[in-house]
Amino acid sequence: MAHIIIIGGGIIGLSAAYYLHREGHEVTVLDKGDITGNCSYGNAGMIVPSHFVPLAAPGMIRQGIRWMFNSRSPFYIKPAINSELIGWGLQFIKHATARHVAAAAVPLRDLSLLSRSLYNELAQEPGLAFGLQHKGILAFFKTNKAAEEEAHLVKDAAALGLDFALLDAKACRALQPDLELDVLGAVHYRCDGHLSPRSLMTTLLAYLEKNNVTILRNHAADGVEMEGGVIRAITASGKRFTADHFVLATGAWSPAVAKMLHVKAPLMPGKGYSFMGENPNDCLQIPALLCEARVAVTPMDEQIRYGGTMELARINGKVNMNRVQGIVDAIPAYFPGLRPALPATANTWFGFRPSSPDGLPYIGYSKKVKNLVLATGHGMMGLSLGPATGLLVSRLINGQPTEVGMEPFAPDRF
């Protein structure tokens, strides 16, 4: 049995804690806050094998430049002169190619399918209840251009063996007869699913603490003792912690923590917003992606969660209500009967997705620090890929074979 310190208490860190504990290890999780405010709580709750196209894809640079001049647009890069953004941007440009998209598709699919399978297993665990459902996700489109883009995407999905159906407007209405629609059609990605992020995190935390995993809140890692390329101890909140292995799972805060640990984790925080609204007559039954608007809509806890935007900038606590207004305005264009009000700032959640420049997460041992495993950089798919990442971290630390190839996720690839 080894002692493992996991830095970060989001879904990635807690998933790693679950699988490491299951293997008999002593596990301690350190989190800089009270855990409830991290990105794992406010996301759209989607499990998405259909998301096999990384953020770094052809057309994103051109589209991003156009969106930069619209304060309500789905994607925004705040101009800034700093080495982190410049370095990240150069790597993003390098990887925004059709060749990279093709190379990333299989690893992302395999990681997602593994995670979906593990969620099914977790849902059977006594004490874990998080509203897991397998109704798929509907990607709605309103324009011929978006329809063509989705038709191209489903060809790739078919080649990857994913389960989907291309629907016209009539077929869309038949699936949810109480939901008023103004769309040309949709792709029903039947391979996808959804859950309640808050229920998942709450029950998983309770399960781990009940099973003697130590969770230390408000313990930000702030120092390290190194010897011969090995971490001997880290400090947090004035305390010294020793362990055999350390796991870096601090999401958007990873670059600073990685630097402290003498490694690199090139990431940009992608701020996203979400808010809750009513689900009148339970009209929305299947989660939706609004293709042109880049908005996610999920039935959740007897309400609807609306979410979207990707704002690449330094971590900050400002709520840009113009971006939230962009989400609000998009909804009735697809669902005329749903007209959510602009939420108060206090009722608007925001979080930071840790976005790597090539759109693939970092999962694996560092080459520079022998007892450090990185598990970060999942972008918008942290919740979707949480269990798979946690299991892989456990496999690596145990020296066991992994269910998927690890080379595409190598932490030292840049």
DSSP class per residue in 353-392? EEE-TTS--EEEE-SSSTTEEEEE-BGGGHHHHHHHHHHH
How big is the chain by its Cα radius of gyration, in Å?
A: 21
Whole-structure pTM over 0.85, yes or no?
Answer: yes
Burial 165-185 (b: 16+ CB within 10 A, else e): eebeeeebeebbeebebebbb
pLDDT tens readout for residues 294-343: 999 999 999 999 999 888 888 989 999 999 999 999 999 999 999 999 99
pLDDT tens readout for residues 348-364: 999 999 999 999 999 99
Structure tokens at 96: 């925004």
Contact 343, 275 (CB under 8 A): yes
Q: Is the pLDDT of residue 253 over 70?
A: yes
- Give the model's pLDDT for residue 194: 98
Residue 399 identity: G
Q: Is the pLDDT of residue 77 over 70?
A: yes
Sole residue written with tokens 């609004």: 290
Q: Could you tell me whether strands 3-7 and 245-248 are parallel, antiparallel, or unpaired per DSSP bridges?
A: parallel
The ranges assigned to domains in the chain are 3-409
* DSSP 8-state secondary structure symbol assigned to residue 251: G
Burial 1-27 (b: 16+ CB within 10 A, else e): eeebbbbbbbbbbbbbbbbbbeeebbb
- Give the model's pLDDT for residue 292: 95
Taking each helix axis as running N to C, give the angle between helix 197-210 and helix 11-22, from 0 to 180 degrees, rounded to the nearest 10.
40
Element (H, E) at 323: helix 321-334
Structure tokens at 46: 């989607």
Bridge partners of 138, per DSSP, are 188, 288
Q: Could you tell me the end-to-end alpha-carbon distance of the chain, in angstroms, rounded to an integer?
A: 33
Sole residue written with tokens 């949810």: 176
Q: Is the pLDDT of residue 178 over 70?
A: yes
Residues 6+ apart with CB under 8 A from 57: 96, 100, 101, 359
- Give the model's pLDDT for residue 69: 64
Element (H, E) at 172: helix 169-175
- Give the model's pLDDT for residue 85: 82
* DSSP 8-state secondary structure symbol assigned to residue 133: B
E runs forming strands in 292-371? 295-300, 303-312, 349-355, 362-365
More confident residue, 282 or 63: 282
C-alpha triplet 308, 312, 313: angle, nearest 5°: 130
pLDDT tens readout for residues 195-227: 999 999 999 999 999 999 999 999 999 999 999
* Fold held by 3-409: FAD/NAD(P)-binding domain (3.50.50)
What integer best gives the mean pLDDT of the chain?
A: 94
- Give the model's pLDDT for residue 86: 85
User: What DSSP string describes 183-244?
Assistant: -SEEEEETT-EE--HHHHHHHHHHHHHHTT-EEESS--EEEEEEETTEEEEEEETTEEEE-S
Sole residue written with tokens 């962009």: 326
Say how many C-beta atoms besides its own lie within 10 A of residue 155's C-beta: 10
Burial of 227: CB neighbours in 10 Å, binned 0-12, 13-18, 19+: exposed
